[in-house]
């Protein structure tokens, strides 16, 4: 289950219907998906896409997405820091950003007129950030995420950076299993 933080109000939400209705205020779609059949943690990309094919096809027809793939990121991924540096600054793009998390965790910040919302996603969470929405993304402490991505344009998308520096005002802190309170560190 995701954890949503309304940053300005210092309010945290971790109940599915409240998450869905709150994120709607920011024009973000949120769903929980369950696979059609058991998918092992070792499953290939093809097996993963097959297990979620009915949800993927539904989303494709609703959002005009033409392709789906599986991205796999772990601490061993070559060039991981360079890859993350492309996404951890506020940006927007002409494509929707659609992610369904299979394993690991990640932290989206979405910046709209009504403020900044932090969305920590984990396995089973689908998030759709519409094109043109300002946002940034960080991994959590375990630096691991495996996710299905959907694309409207097979050529992919290019981030447009706002360069406002707003992303640096927000701590990329996750509340999942790897979260450590400051007191625990001391
Ligand atoms: Fe993005």
Q: Which residues pair with 4 in a beta bridge?
A: 13, 119
Q: What is the pLDDT of residue 92?
A: 95
What is the value of pTM for the model shown? 0.91
Å from CA of 186 to ligand 1 middle: 35
Q: What is the pLDDT of residue 42?
A: 87
Q: Are 119 and 2 in contact (CB under 8 A)?
A: yes
Counting Cβ atoms within 10 Å, is residue 85 exposed (0-12), middle (13-18) or buried (19+)? exposed
Alpha helices in the chain (DSSP H): 16-24, 45-51, 53-63, 80-85, 182-185
138-160 pLDDT per residue, tens? 999 999 999 999 999 877 678 99
Instruction: Pick 78 or 176 by higher pLDDT.
Output: 78
Å from CA of 167 to ligand 1 middle: 13
Rounded to whole angstroms, the Cα distance separating 51 from 16 reads 22
38: pLDDT strictly greater than 90: no
Place of tokens 């939400």: 13
Q: List, in order of start, the domains of the chain with CATH numbers.
A: 3-178 (2.60.120.10)
22-31 pLDDT per residue, tens? 999 999 999 9
Q: Which of 124, 139, 134, 135 lies closest to 172, judged by CA?
A: 139
Å from CA of 123 to ligand 1 middle: 19
Å from CA of 111 to ligand 1 middle: 12
Q: Are strands 97-112 and 91-92 parallel, antiparallel or unpaired?
A: unpaired
Å from CA of 130 to ligand 1 middle: 10
Å from CA of 184 to ligand 1 middle: 32
Q: What is the pLDDT of residue 153?
A: 85
Neighbours of ion ligand 1 (CB under 5 A): 97
Q: What is the pLDDT of residue 7?
A: 87
Rounded to whole angstroms, the Cα distance separating 186 from 184 reads 6
Contacting residues for 179 by C-beta, under 8 A, at least 6 apart: 140, 141, 173
Q: Which residues pair with 138 in a beta bridge?
A: 107
């Amino acid at each position: 289950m995701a954890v949503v933080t309304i940053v300005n109000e210092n309010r945290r939400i971790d109940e599915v219907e409240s998450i869905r209705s709150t994120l709607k205020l920011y024009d973000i779609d949120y769903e929980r998906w369950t696979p059609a059949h058991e998918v092992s943690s070792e499953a290939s990309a093809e097996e993963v896409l097959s297990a979620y094919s009915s949800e993927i096809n539904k989303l494709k027809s609703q959002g005009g997405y033409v392709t789906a793939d599986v991205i796999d990121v772990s601490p061993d991924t070559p060039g991981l820091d360079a890859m993350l540096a492309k996404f951890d600054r506020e940006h927007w793009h002409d494509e929707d950003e659609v992610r369904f998390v299979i394993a690991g965790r990640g932290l989206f910040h979405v910046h709209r007129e009504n403020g900044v919302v932090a969305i920590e996603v984990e396995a089973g969470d689908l998030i759709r950030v519409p094109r043109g929405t300002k946002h940034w993304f960080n991994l959590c402490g375990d630096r691991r995420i495996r996710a299905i991505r959907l694309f409207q344009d097979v050529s992919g998308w290019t981030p447009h950076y706002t360069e406002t520096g707003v992303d640096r005002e927000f701590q990329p802190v996750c509340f999942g299993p790897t979260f450590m309170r400051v007191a625990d560190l001391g």
